[in-house]
Structure formats: C-alpha cells, structure tokens
Structure 1
Amino acid sequence: MLPLERRHALIKFVSKKGSCSIPEMSEILNVSEMTVRRDLKQLEEEGFVQRTHGGAISVSSPRLVEPAFEEKRESRQPIKEKLADYAVKHFVQDNGVIIMEGGTTVSVMANYLLEFYNLTVATNGLNTLAVLRSIVSTCTVLGCGGILREMSNTFVGPIAEQFFSQIHAQYAFFSASGFTPETGFTDPNPMERQVKLAMAQSARKKIMLIDSAKFSHVSLLTTFAMRDIDILITDSEAPEVSLKPLRDAGVEVHVVK
C-alpha cells in the first residue's frame, strides 16, 4: 500500500470509529506501530486527526472522508441533472469518443446519451455502465476493468489506468469533491486520482462538471490545477470570486441557469 493510500485509510478508519489505538491501526494496515505514529503525526499537522496517548481521534471535516456513492448520488440531484443535460447538449455528438469518470455528477450524463448514434463512451463507473447498456445497439460502450471500489462503485488501479492511457478521446468529463483557486480541484482517494489523471492524458479537452456546493471546500488531494481544465460547467450559485480566477487561468466557464 502506498503511503498516500495508507494515510487515507487511516483517516477513514479513525473517522468511522471516532477513535482508534495505534496497535489496532498497525494490525489492520499490516505495518509497524512506528509507521502508524509517523503517519498520525503528519495527519495531525495537516488537520486530519488529533493524536492522543496511544492513538488518535477524529477531527470533524465533511470533505476529508469520502461519503458512500448512494449518499453522494442523492445530494443536490436536480443540480446534477442540469449540469449533465447541459454538458451532453453542448459537447457530445454522433460519431464522437468521450471519457466519463464514474462519479455521481458525471454519471448522470449517461441518462442523456440514449439518442446518439455511433458514439463511443469509455468509463470506469459501474453505475454508468449499467445505464449505458441500453445504447449498446447503436453505440460502443467501453468499461475499463480493474479494482472495484465499494465507496464509489468505480474501477481503479493499474489495469484501469493502463486502459485509459490507450484511448484517444475528444472530451473527458470529470467532477471533484472540492474546489478553491488555491488548491485546484480536489478528491479524497489517491487511486481515483490516478485514474482521472490517466483519463485526462487521453483527451483533447478536459471538462469539469461541479455544482456550487463544492466551491470553497478542500479534499485530501489535488487532482487538477485550474490550468489543467479546459471547460468548467457549474450552476448559477457558484461564487464569482471563485469563477474569476478560473477565467483568468484560461478556463472556459459555462454557468447553467
């Protein structure tokens, strides 16, 4: 397990239980107690946990620990529908090739792809694939395979990364757990981040769908800086103080009314 993955697992475990001892975390992660102590020291300095004598307790922060897929899918669903509908109407065409990451905002786009012809869609989202089954008679649907994550219903890992590195797409569609101009677009899981980076390398243009509730929030890892994104689609409640730096960075900003 990579250090970033290990520390992410520590954050999730401590947040879920509220508190945890060093021996317990050492056994669960199959690492030495000294490694756990070093990780906890770094996580405390970054504000993710609070160390105690012999362990750690959780620090309340809604964006540090990833919510389950179903919880995220139900959150602000009307906004996600608007963003997805807009993205499909303006950036998807017959005979095109697109990449869709499997997050709950982008996955809504699958519901609006039913009328296209000879479209090729590549995704790491299990739920996205389930919706796209209905278009396989007229379009090509590519699923990457890999390690299936329970929290997100997405495939991650080296197999998924290699799959996307071999594709050539016009657009790749992404979302994020948080955004600030200083940190860029952030996400809670290092394996999801790596797959997104592989997707981005394989697309001519990167499109970010992000609702206004994600602005001013920061998650564990920066996936994209502002300059890495070509187009951003958001709703009318997005703060102008955050949109202006995006425009200044050369991002084409679309605000959906």
Structure 2
Amino acid sequence: MYAEERQQSIAELITSRGRVSVADLSTSFGVTTETVRRDLAMLDRLGVVRRVHGGAVPASALTVTEPGVGEREYTRAEQKDAIAAAAVEYLPGSGGSVVMDAGTTTGRLAALIGPDRELTLVTNSVPIAARVAPLSGISLRMLGGRVRGATQAAVGEEALTSLEWLRVDVAFIGTNALSLGHGLSTPDSDEAAVKRAMVRSANHVVVLADSSKIGREHLVSFARLENIDVVVTDAQIEVSDRKSLTDNGIEVVIA
C-alpha cells in the first residue's frame, strides 16, 4: 500500500470511529508507530484530522460549539441510559449529599432517584431541579445565576460563590470531552468555571461520559484526570483509552 492510500484509509477509519490510537493504527496497517505518526502529521496539516495525545480524532471533534439540550437528549440515548443506571451505585447513603452537573446523562441519573432516598442535592440544572423537586426525601439546593439556553444550566458569579462554601460527598459531572492531555473540557468558559468548582467541592468525583466523548478535546479544560475518581462509560470505549484511565488511578465502570 502506497503512503497516500494508507493515509486515506487512516482518515476514513478515524472519521468512522471518532478516535483511533497510534498503536491501533500501527497494528491495523502493519507499519511502525513512527510511520503512523508521520501519516497523522500529514493529515493534520491537511486539516483532515487533528492529532491528540496518543492518536487522532476527526477535525470536527475539536470545536468551540455545542449542541443544545434537545439535540443531545436523543444522541446515544441507549448508552446514556445504561451509564445512568450504573451510576446509581455511587449515590451516597441516607443523609448524604451530592452535586449534580447539568447534562442529559446526569439528568437521566436524577430521574432514577427513588422516592425513598434521602439526599441533599445541589444542582445548577433547571431540568434536574424540576425533576427532583417533588421528591419528599430530597433536600434541593438550586444554584443561582444566569441560565444558559444551550444547556439550561445556571452559570456565573452567584453559582460560583455558592459552591465555594460547599462540601458534598459525591459530584456527578458530565463533560463534552475527555482526553489524557487536556483532561475534562467543554466549549463554554462560564460553564467550565462552574464544573471546576463542583469538582473542587466534592470528596468523590464521578464522571458520566459515553465513549464518544473520550479522546476528544474542547476549548476549556475544567479538571485534570487526577481530580476524578470514577468514569462511567459504555462498552465502546477503546481498550487503549480504558488503560490510560486506569493507569492514572481512575476506576472505569463499563455500563
């Protein structure tokens, strides 16, 4: 296979999978990792792919835009349902406290909280607050601030000030992207600031992220991998990505 043919095949593979590691490409095409890195460098210069730590993603994966809640609600819905069901195991016992980030997967987790569970629940998500408010066992604290239309999440100084004084048992955090080099990231700086404060407020951090988020990077990083304890994801996670997470001391739960 000529270099140009191999590079075209690599580009097609990355486009279809969303992210591919250097090691996987080396095995698939029977060439050295150095050859793969040269191919990726060429494809990156052409704007076809974007190189990330240990591999590459489609050029469209590195973006400063984000879909709205309505669009995201039905994207990879089956995986999100399974992730939420697995994450229930990390809810603290009676009398415990959680902070729940805005997101469609965290929203599914909120929907699974039973009427008999007694928790203090802090959130910046308007939909999550509306979902748990009728539950008699939930002591709800809704963070104030400007509500972003795209995510229906409260952001800004009011939310940050409230989180500064809180300490909760568990934070359930969503993310637009997760990579070894850039950590957890999101397109919006205001949203990133609130997520960062939520991570800092918790004794235990559980990230809910379907496998399409892993290996991607967005504009603003809000947490390093060392700041999180658990990633709950789906079975489509790449073997190399799972190993990278576990090598960083993170528990990976496959829903």
Q: TM-score, normalised by structure 2?
A: 0.73
**CA pair 60-119 structure 1, distance change in 2 beyond 3 A:** closer
Tell me how many residue pairs correspond in the alignment: 198
The corresponding residue for 1:148 is 147
**CA pair 240-145 structure 1, distance change in 2 beyond 3 A:** same
Q: Output the CA distance in 1 between the equivalents of 2:143 and 2:210.
A: 27
Please state whether the residue corresponding to 1:148 is helix, strand or coil: strand
Q: Is 2:129 the counterpart of 1:168?
A: no
The corresponding residue for 2:124 is 124
Please state whether the residue corresponding to 2:206 is helix, strand or coil: strand
Q: Output the CA distance in 2 between the equivalents of 1:71 and 1:185.
A: 21
Q: How does 1:52-67 map to 2 (within 5 A)?
A: 63-67=63-67
Instruction: Say if 2:230 and 2:250, in contact at 8 Å, map to a contact too.
Output: yes
Please state whether the residue corresponding to 2:245 is helix, strand or coil: helix
Q: Output the CA distance in 1 between the equivalents of 2:160 and 2:94.
A: 26
Instruction: Say if 1:94 and 1:116, in contact at 8 Å, map to a contact too.
Output: no
Percent identical pairs in the alignment equals 27
Distance apart, 1:63 and its partner CA = 3.9
Q: Output the CA distance in 2 between the equivalents of 1:61 and 1:242.
A: 16
**CA pair 115-225 structure 1, distance change in 2 beyond 3 A:** same
Please state whether the residue corresponding to 1:173 is helix, strand or coil: strand
The corresponding residue for 1:9 is none
Q: Which consecutive unaligned segments of at least 5 residues does structure 1 have?
A: 1-46, 48-58
The corresponding residue for 1:112 is 112
Q: Output the CA distance in 2 between the equivalents of 1:60 and 1:251.
A: 28
Instruction: Say if 2:98 and 2:169, in contact at 8 Å, map to a contact too.
Output: yes
Instruction: Say if 2:122 and 2:143, in contact at 8 Å, map to a contact too.
Output: yes
Q: How does 1:164-203 map to 2 (within 5 A)?
A: 164-203=163-202
**CA pair 93-115 structure 1, distance change in 2 beyond 3 A:** farther
Dislocated runs of 4+, deviation >3 Å: 59-63
Q: Give the partner amino acid of 1:115.
A: P
The corresponding residue for 2:206 is 207
The corresponding residue for 1:85 is 85
The corresponding residue for 2:33 is none
Q: TM-score, normalised by structure 1?
A: 0.73
Q: Output the CA distance in 2 between the equivalents of 1:80 and 1:92.
A: 21
Q: Output the CA distance in 2 between the equivalents of 1:68 and 1:98.
A: 25
Comparing 113-122 and 152-161, the one that deviates more: 113-122
The corresponding residue for 1:226 is 225
Instruction: Say if 1:144 and 1:163, in contact at 8 Å, map to a contact too.
Output: yes
The corresponding residue for 1:6 is none
Please state whether the residue corresponding to 2:236 is helix, strand or coil: coil
Comparing 147-156 and 216-225, the one that deviates more: 216-225
The corresponding residue for 1:43 is none
Q: Output the CA distance in 1 between the equivalents of 2:91 and 2:61.
A: 35
Q: Give the partner amino acid of 2:211.
A: S
Q: Give the partner amino acid of 1:173.
A: F
Q: Residue by residue, what CA displacement relative to the aligned partner does 1:80-137 show, whole Å, maximum 9, x if unpaired?
A: 11111111134332211000001111121111112343211000000101111221x2
Q: Output the CA distance in 2 between the equivalents of 1:117 and 1:215.
A: 32
Instruction: Say if 1:63 and 1:178, in contact at 8 Å, map to a contact too.
Output: no
Q: Which consecutive unaligned segments of at least 5 residues does structure 2 have?
A: 1-46, 48-58
Q: Is 2:110 the counterpart of 1:94?
A: no
Q: Give the partner amino acid of 2:185.
A: T
Q: Output the CA distance in 2 between the equivalents of 1:90 and 1:159.
A: 28
The corresponding residue for 1:69 is 69
Q: Residue by residue, what CA displacement relative to the aligned partner does 1:43-90 show, whole Å, maximum 9, x if unpaired?
A: xxxx9xxxxxxxxxxx95574311111111111111111111111134
